[in-house]
């Protein structure tokens, strides 16, 4: 039964005792290996979940192809999914109204974190960027409700869908192109923490900017001083925030298009930085740090924000080696009293493992590291205590002597 016929009797999916125990612990996913029976359940259906003996455990969205077969939407019955969807969108928006400050760019809906599994919506000033990650959320009625509710409540100039072809393949969904879903505007300027950024909805990585770092930029800026290096700078998120506090800022990234936007962003914010230029270098960060360390370059502030090195659990060891190499080199290059801002967006690398890596790097570099702030993702990316997968970003700010 498609997700749109929620008022009718829902199909049932029976899960194993291990799956049931997972739900009882407060998690919201059941893996395919814990599905006992899902006879003739259509892809993307809304389903009643039961234990082995048929006892009801709640209502979920079903995927016929993902390893995450069940994503719970309620621990009870859901007589009208459309009404629930509208209510959850309203709740997500109200939550942001209470907790988000100093920005017109933030995550409006964060999938499981807002009890809307498979749906991500980001706001960039007057443009909303939408991502649909599951079969159920892809149903045309669901899309219509999402778009009409967002339009009614946020009145954006445009809504743009960003499509990740890999996700659609995993969900066994037909290919779909990124593009406008309402309105006709695809570029705007947004402001966070008083810093302005260009946004082009159909270019760039992720949904356009790294909104999850928003509060970390402001935190890092408090301690930044002297000569600063922003490694993996993308469109200049850290560099632009550090610039007003620093005598000189260099940003490094391997992507030329990202650096071109970074430079345009620097122009937008020149007054903030006392009209100082930021230097942008296109390079492989590993090679550049190696060369700089070999030639005894020194900095007072270094930000390290690499892409996710561990995309799966199997990559964790090699990811930690990569993080250690970067952090070791950065620590060696910092002047006494220097500030290291070091990040990992790999969910599979835990905060504890990341801090262990930093401890080992500090020992090897013969440096003393004092933790100033141990941070995570911005609060508009809410973490559900019982769903550890909702917490993925680590940002450690330390003072190095």
Name the nearest CA neighbour of 167 among 176, 155, 158, 154. Answer: 176
Of 78, 201, 229, 258, which one interacts with ligand SAH (CB under 6 A)?
A: 258
Helix or strand or coil: residue 30? strand
- Cα separation of 380 and 96, whole Å? 6
CB of 349 to ligand SAH, least distance (A): 15
What is the DSSP annotation of 325-337? Answer: HHHHHHHHHEEEE
Of 138, 213, 269, 327, which one interacts with ligand SAH (CB under 6 A)?
A: 213
255 near ligand SAH (CB under 6 A) = yes
What is the signed CA dihedral for 224, 358, 262, 238, rounded to 10 degrees?
A: -30
Name the nearest CA neighbour of 137 among 37, 57, 43. Answer: 43
Of 232, 280, 292, 323, which one interacts with ligand SAH (CB under 6 A)?
A: 232
237 near ligand SAH (CB under 6 A) = yes
Q: Can you tell me which residue has the tokens 């389903």? A: 47
Stretch of 301-309, 323-331, 334-342, 370-378 lying at the interface with ligand SAH (CB under 6 A): 301-309
- Site track 307-346 with ligand SAH (rule: CB under 6 A), x = hit: x---------------------------------------
Of 95, 234, 280, 292, which one interacts with ligand SAH (CB under 6 A)?
A: 234
Q: Known catalytic residue: 233?
A: no
Nearer to ligand SAH, 79 or 307 (CB): 307
210 near ligand SAH (CB under 6 A) = yes
CB of 316 to ligand SAH, least distance (A): 18
Helix or strand or coil: residue 160? strand
Of 64, 104, 254, 399, which one interacts with ligand SAH (CB under 6 A)?
A: 254
Alpha-carbon 115 to chain mean position = 16
CB of 255 to ligand SAH, least distance (A): 4
Of 112, 114, 253, 380, which one interacts with ligand SAH (CB under 6 A)?
A: 253
- Cα separation of 68 and 386, whole Å? 16
Stretch of 67-75, 106-114, 249-257, 379-387 lying at the interface with ligand SAH (CB under 6 A): 249-257
Between CA 233 and CA 244, with CA 238 as vertex, the angle to 5 degrees is: 130
Pairing relationship of beta strands 227-231 and 299-304 according to DSSP bridges: parallel
Q: Segment 140-179, which members bind ligand SAH (CB under 6 A)?
A: none
- 16 C-beta neighbours (distance < 10 Å), count: 16
Helices in 132-196 by DSSP H: which ranges?
135-138, 140-154, 165-170
Contact status, residue 183 vs residue 157, Cβ threshold 8 Å? yes
Of 108, 285, 319, 334, which one interacts with ligand SAH (CB under 6 A)?
A: 285
- Residues 6 or more apart whose Cβ sits within 8 Å of residue 180: 158, 159, 160, 161, 186
Q: Could you tell me the two tokens for 16?
A: 């194993």
Q: Could you tell me the two tokens for 52?
A: 């082995």
Stretch of 48-56, 279-287, 351-359, 366-374 lying at the interface with ligand SAH (CB under 6 A): 279-287
Catalytic residue among 233, 343, 345, 395: 345
Stretch of 13-21, 248-256, 314-322, 349-357 lying at the interface with ligand SAH (CB under 6 A): 248-256
CB of 210 to ligand SAH, least distance (A): 4
- Residues 6 or more apart whose Cβ sits within 8 Å of residue 231: 252, 285, 288, 289, 302, 303, 304, 305, 306, 326, 330
CB of 220 to ligand SAH, least distance (A): 10
Nearer to ligand SAH, 290 or 314 (CB): 290
19 near ligand SAH (CB under 6 A) = no
CB of 199 to ligand SAH, least distance (A): 12
Nearer to ligand SAH, 89 or 341 (CB): 341
Q: Which residues are part of the catalytic machinery?
A: 345
Please give the residue ranges that form the binding site for ligand SAH (CB under 6 A).
210, 213, 232-235, 237-238, 253-255, 258, 284-286, 305-307
């Amino acid at each position: 039964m498609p997700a749109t016929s929620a008022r009718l009797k829902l199909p049932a999916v029976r899960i194993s005792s291990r799956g049931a125990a997972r739900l009882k612990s407060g998690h919201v996913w059941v893996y395919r290996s814990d599905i006992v029976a899902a006879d003739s359940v259509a892809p993307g259906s809304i389903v009643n979940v039961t234990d082995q003996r048929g006892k009801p455990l709640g209502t979920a969205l079903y995927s016929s192809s993902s390893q995450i077969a069940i994503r719970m939407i309620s621990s009870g019955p859901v007589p009208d999914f459309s009404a629930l969807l509208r209510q959850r969108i309203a709740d997500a928006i109200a939550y942001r109204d209470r907790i988000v400050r100093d920005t017109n760019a933030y995550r409006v809906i964060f999938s499981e974190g807002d009890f809307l599994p498979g749906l991500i919506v980001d706001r960039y000033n007057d443009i909303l960027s939408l991502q649909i990650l599951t079969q159920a959320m892809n149903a045309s009625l669901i899309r219509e409700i999402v778009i009409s509710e967002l339009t009614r409540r946020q009145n954006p100039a445009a809504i743009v869908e960003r499509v990740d072809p890999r996700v659609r393949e995993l969900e066994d969904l037909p290919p779909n192109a990124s593009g406008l879903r309402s309105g006709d505007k695809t570029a705007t300027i947004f402001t966070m923490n008083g810093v302005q950024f260009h946004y082009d909805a159909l270019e760039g990585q992720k949904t356009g900017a790294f909104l999850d770092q928003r509060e970390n930029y402001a935190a890092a800026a408090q301690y930044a001083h002297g000569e600063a290096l922003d490694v993996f700078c993308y469109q200049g998120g850290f560099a632009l925030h550090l610039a007003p506090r620093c005598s000189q800022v260099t940003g490094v990234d391997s992507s030329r298009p990202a650096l071109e936007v970074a430079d345009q962003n620097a122009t937008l914010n020149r007054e903030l930085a006392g009209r100082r230029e930021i230097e942008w270098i296109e390079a492989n960060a590993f090679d550049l740090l190696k060369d700089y360390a070999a030639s005894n370059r020194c900095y007072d502030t270094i930000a390290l924000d690499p892409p996710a090195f561990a995309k799966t659990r199997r990559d964790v060891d090699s990811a930690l080696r990569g993080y250690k190499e970067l952090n070791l080199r950065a620590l060696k290059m910092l002047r006494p009293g220097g500030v290291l801002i070091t990040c990992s967006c790999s969910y599979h690398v835990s905060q504890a493992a990341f801090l262990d890596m930093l401890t080992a790097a500090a020992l090897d570099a013969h440096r003393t590291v004092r933790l100033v702030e141990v941070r995570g993702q911005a609060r508009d990316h809410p973490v559900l205590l019982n769903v550890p997968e909702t917490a993925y970003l680590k940002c450690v700010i330390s003072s190095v002597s």
